[in-house]
């Protein structure tokens, strides 16, 4: 009898171990392994480039107000509509240049200096930073008109109520109807993309990306998003909709903080206002563009914030992975064998660069093909951007994933295993790969999760 009990206990222990073995080990501890400059930039090669990195990093973290220095030390140009008050508040974890932090700063941003905002229900204190888009235009009650696709970013907050925003009031400007959009399932989300190693991504030649398209045995057939004017490949953003880091920075400065700049020269209205009359003039409190080249700083001037942001991102080093364990090394092999590497391509070699040696003919271990793939009904957001359709997304680079807190384009999960399984749904290109993953042993699945958390 005693032997039978011991055998039963042993079986239960084995089953219990198997049940807990296939789990996301969670964000890696220890040093951030990211946030610093490329090695050649840290060595100040060429001379003075480290100053550009440091200057861009400082500006990246500067809090913006409506009127520059109305509140001591704050930049200017915020609003009239905005999502946050600085780049670094959203790109924060595991270091400046990353993505959503563990405590959401949008509660503070929405009410800073007396701003009269209601934080939308989909923003939670321990959840991801989210940018909101309405899929369709809607009436005042939030009822969507399915004949009118929208897809534009809806700013979360307004500057009304702040003393530096007087005389802009809630009678001039108001928050979008988020409650109605949530009620009618007419809102989708995007979370901040990590920026580490962005200069390497920018410097991959189009020819190298084209060579990687197709040619795999897993039924995956990606495509590349393109700039409609010159036809070159775009590569930044969840749908690879932006061509370069400077365009990426200029658009984000305008969309996320409401700061007009030399690339996006006007204050932006909401998508609904753009169809109507635009923003009331009473809420436009600065000359345009608010961010611009400073001609008085020296005989040749100093660059705008937008240029400094782009240079900071360009010179950021890629994340540093950990030393691989036997489990992680096996996980990398299995990851490739079952087809994950068909989209999450391990590396590209960059082109020559005149910025710094760290970008010149360098190996970019990004684990992405930068292509658009159909991800099926489960992940579709029904937003079209360039060549990217409603269920297509750029393959998310996996370098640095070991430190991330939130996954997928909308931050719906903090669990890598859940993110993997979400790749499977009707019409997803990843279906056969996920079937391969599901057929793995518990230990091989765990090894893949351990491998991903090592990146």
Give the per-residue pLDDT at 300.
66
Which parts of 239-385 are beta strand (E)? 348-349, 363-364, 372-374
Q: What is the DSSP letter of 166?
A: T
**Distance separating the N- and C-terminal Cα atoms of the chain:** 49
User: How large a percentage of the chain has pLDDT more than 70?
Assistant: 93
Give the per-residue pLDDT at 297.
65
Mean pLDDT of 90-110: 98
Mean pLDDT value across the chain: 93
Contacts of 364 (CB under 8 A, 6+ apart): 197, 200, 201, 204, 318, 347, 348, 349, 350
Mean pLDDT of 318-326: 94
Mean pLDDT of 277-305: 83
pTM: 0.93
Give the C-alpha separation, 243 to 235, whole Å: 6
Mean pLDDT of 174-180: 96
Q: For residues 207 and 213, is the Cβ–Cβ distance under 8 A? A: no
Give the per-residue pLDDT at 295.
87
Residue 1 reports pLDDT greater than 70: no
Scored b (16 or more CB within 10 A) or e, 98-129 reads: bbbbeebbbeebbbbbebbbebbebbeeebbb
Nearest to 313 by CA among 368, 374, 236: 236
Residue 374: count of CB within 10 angstroms of its CB: 20
Scored b (16 or more CB within 10 A) or e, 40-74 reads: bbeeeeeeebbebbebbbebbeebbbbbeeeeeeb
Helix axes 49-61, 305-315, angle to 10 degrees: 110
- Where does the pLDDT of residue 51 fall: very low under 50, low under 70, confident under 90, or very high at 90 and above? very high
Contacts of 403 (CB under 8 A, 6+ apart): 27, 28, 32, 33, 34, 93, 94, 98, 319
Contacts of 179 (CB under 8 A, 6+ apart): 120, 121, 142
Contacts of 229 (CB under 8 A, 6+ apart): none
| Residue entry with tokens 């500057």 | 159
Residue 274 reports pLDDT greater than 80: no
């Amino acid at each position: 009898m005693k032997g039978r009990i011991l055998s039963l206990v042993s079986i239960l222990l084995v089953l219990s171990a198997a049940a807990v073995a296939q789990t996301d080990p969670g964000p890696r501890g220890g040093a951030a392994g990211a946030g610093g400059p490329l090695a050649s930039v840290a060595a100040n090669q060429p001379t003075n480039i480290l100053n550009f990195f440091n200057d861009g990093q400082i500006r990246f973290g500067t809090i913006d107000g409506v009127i520059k220095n109305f509140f001591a030390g704050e930049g200017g140009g915020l609003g009239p509509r905005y999502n946050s008050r600085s780049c670094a508040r959203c790109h924060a974890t595991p270091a400046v240049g990353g993505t959503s932090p563990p405590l959401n700063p949008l509660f503070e941003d929405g009410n800073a200096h007396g701003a009269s905002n209601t934080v939308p229900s989909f923003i939670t204190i321990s959840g991801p930073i989210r940018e909101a888009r309405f899929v369709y235009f809607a009436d005042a009650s939030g009822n969507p008109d399915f004949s009118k696709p929208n897809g534009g970013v809806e700013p979360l907050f307004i500057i009304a109520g702040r003393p530096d925003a007087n005389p802009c009031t809630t009678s001039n400007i108001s928050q979008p109807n988020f409650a109605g959009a949530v009620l009618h399932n007419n809102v989708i989300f995007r979370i901040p993309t990590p920026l580490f190693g962005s200069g390497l991504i920018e410097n991959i030649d189009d020819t190298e990306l084209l060579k990687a398209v197709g040619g795999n045995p897993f039924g995956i057939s990606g495509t590349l998003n393109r700039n409609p004017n010159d036809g070159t490949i775009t590569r930044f953003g969840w749908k690879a909709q932006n061509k370069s880091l400077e365009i990426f920075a200029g658009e984000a400065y305008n969309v996320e903080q409401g700061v007009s700049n030399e690339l996006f020269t006007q204050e932006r209205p909401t998508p609904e206002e753009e169809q109507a009359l635009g923003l009331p003039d009473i809420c436009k409190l600065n000359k345009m563009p608010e961010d611009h080249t400073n001609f008085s700083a020296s005989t040749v001037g100093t660059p705008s914030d937008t240029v400094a942001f782009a240079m900071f991102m360009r010179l950021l080093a890629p994340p540093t992975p950990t030393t691989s364990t036997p489990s992680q090394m096996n996980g990398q092999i299995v990851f490739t064998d079952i087809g994950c590497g068909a989209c999450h391509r391990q590396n590209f070699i960059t082109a020559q660069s005149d910025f710094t040696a760290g970008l010149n003919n360098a190996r970019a271990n990004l684990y992405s093909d930068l292509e658009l793939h159909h991800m099926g009904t489960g992940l579709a957001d029904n937003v079209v951007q360039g060549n990217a359709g409603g269920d297509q997304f750029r393959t998310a680079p996996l370098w640095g994933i070991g430190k991330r807190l939130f996954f997928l384009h909308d931050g719906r999960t903090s669990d890598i295993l859940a993110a993997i399984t979400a790749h499977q749904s009707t019409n997803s290109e990843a279906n056969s790969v996920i079937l391969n993953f599901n057929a793995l042993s518990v230990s091989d699945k765990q090894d893949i999760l351990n491998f991903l958390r090592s990146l």
